[in-house]
């Protein structure tokens, strides 16, 4: 027995050609050149037999690699730019703040009902940035108003204590009712002045120069000046009372109205972040039902919007998102309209 010098297949001693590869076999055991024969030489395809293994001389077969790939969603054909966030959707407008192209869904999902960009279609990034700025402004306003409220209350308490002792010490005679009434008036007046001390001092000070009059009679001029001074003291005590009540009501209303806004606003922004993440996944997996996406896509495992879509349907989930957008718009209006 002999072996083909080209492919290594076993051949009989009297064979003229290799039965495997067609290589001519010379009678002296040497390979014939292909240039001096009219017999065609057959070369097997590379995907079948390979050259013999140099280690053991045994031919090996390697199956071809699989070439199947799952089909991708066909890229839609449209003229013009694609949405910055959803690259398979055509852009219908641009963000007026940064210029990003936006699809119909993005144009309808984000934006404001008041302020500089009222009624305009902002992109997700700009909307979130403005909302976060509003939250920072609210925190600063809340801190400032809380401090002002504390100072106002401290002033009221100090003024009330001064007025109480002043009333009790300066009234020596009279009925109990008269003493009580006079002390109460002084206590309230001093409490009001203490709550709005700067308003009181500025108001009285602005009229102080007018208290100096010249009538040609020194005594009369002094009496008129003192009367005018007392008048302005009493007048601005009333002004201070009104201002103190106004500030306390305003501060308390602001703090009560915004007590839970930051926490609720964070929940609303998280819902919108989940909504954007959901739309990105759906955009890349069109035609795939939500149950399959939740089972296979780990990005949606903790996505509140995807969970709501599965449990309540897409219409109910989108209605919830619209409520969140309306809430955050209300939040922004409070921040901008009720500044510290």
Which residue ranges make up each domain of the chain? Answer: 1-32, 144-258, 265-337
Residues 39-98 pLDDT 10s = 455 555 554 444 444 445 555 445 444 443 444 555 667 788 999 999 889 999 999 999
Helix (H, G, I), strand (E, B) or coil at 101: strand
Which residues make Cβ contacts (< 8 Å) with residue 298, sequence separation at least 6?
A: none
283: Cα separation from own chain's centroid: 21
pLDDT value of position 33 = 43
Percentage of the chain exceeding pLDDT 70: 80
More confident residue, 278 or 170: 278
pLDDT at 151: 94
Torsion of CA 137, 139, 140, 143, to 10 degrees: 150
254 closest CA partner among 137, 159, 163: 137
Strands 101-102 and 93-94, by their bridges, are antiparallel
- Determine the pLDDT at residue 76: 65
Other residues' Cβ atoms within 10 Å of the Cβ of residue 111: 21
**Is the Cβ–Cβ distance between 334 and 260 less than 8 Å?**
no
For 121-147, write each residue's pLDDT tens digit.
Answer: 889 999 888 888 888 888 888 888 899
Tell me what pLDDT residue 227 has: 92
> Please, are residues 111 and 117 in contact by the beta-carbon 8 Å criterion?
yes
pLDDT of residue 238: 93
Q: What angle do CA 122, 126, 128 make, to 5 degrees?
A: 110
**CA 137, CA 117: separation in Å to the nearest integer?**
17
Angle between helices 218-258 and 176-195 (to 10 degrees): 70
């Amino acid at each position: 027995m002999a072996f083909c010098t080209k492919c290594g297949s076993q051949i009989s001693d009297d064979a003229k050609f290799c039965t495997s590869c067609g290589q001519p076999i010379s009678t002296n055991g040497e390979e014939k050149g292909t240039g001096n024969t009219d017999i065609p030489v057959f070369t097997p395809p590379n995907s079948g037999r390979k050259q013999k293994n140099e280690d053991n001389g045994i031919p090996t077969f390697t199956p071809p690699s699989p070439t199947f790939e799952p089909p991708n969603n066909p890229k839609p054909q449209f003229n013009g730019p694609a949405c910055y966030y959803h690259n398979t959707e055509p852009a219908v407008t641009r963000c007026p703040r940064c210029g990003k192209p936006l699809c119909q869904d993005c144009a309808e999902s984000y934006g404001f009902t008041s302020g500089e960009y009222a009624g305009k279609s902002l992109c997700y990034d700009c909307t979130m940035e403005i909302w976060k700025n509003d939250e920072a402004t609210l925190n600063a306003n809340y801190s400032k108003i809380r401090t002002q409220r504390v100072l106002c209350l401290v002033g009221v308490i100090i003024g009330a204590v001064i007025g109480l002792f002043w009333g009790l010490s300066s009234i020596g005679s009279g009925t109990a009712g008269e003493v009580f009434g006079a002390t109460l008036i002084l206590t309230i007046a001093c409490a009001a002045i203490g709550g709005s001390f700067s308003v009181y001092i500025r108001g009285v000070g602005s009229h102080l120069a007018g208290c100096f009059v010249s009538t040609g009679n020194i005594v009369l001029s002094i009496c008129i000046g003192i009367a005018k001074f007392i008048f302005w003291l009493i007048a601005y005590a009333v002004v201070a009372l009104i201002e103190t009540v106004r500030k306390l009501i305003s501060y308390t209303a602001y703090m009560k109205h915004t007590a839970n806004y930051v926490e609720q606003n964070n929940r609303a922004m998280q819902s919108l972040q989940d909504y954007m993440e959901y739309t990105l996944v759906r955009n890349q997996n069109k035609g795939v039902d939500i149950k399959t996406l939740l089972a296979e896509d780990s990005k949606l495992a903790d996505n509140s919007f995807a969970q709501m879509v599965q449990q309540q349907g897409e219409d109910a989930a989108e209605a919830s998102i619209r409520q969140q957008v309306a809430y955050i718009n209300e939040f922004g209006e409070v921040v901008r309209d009720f500044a510290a």
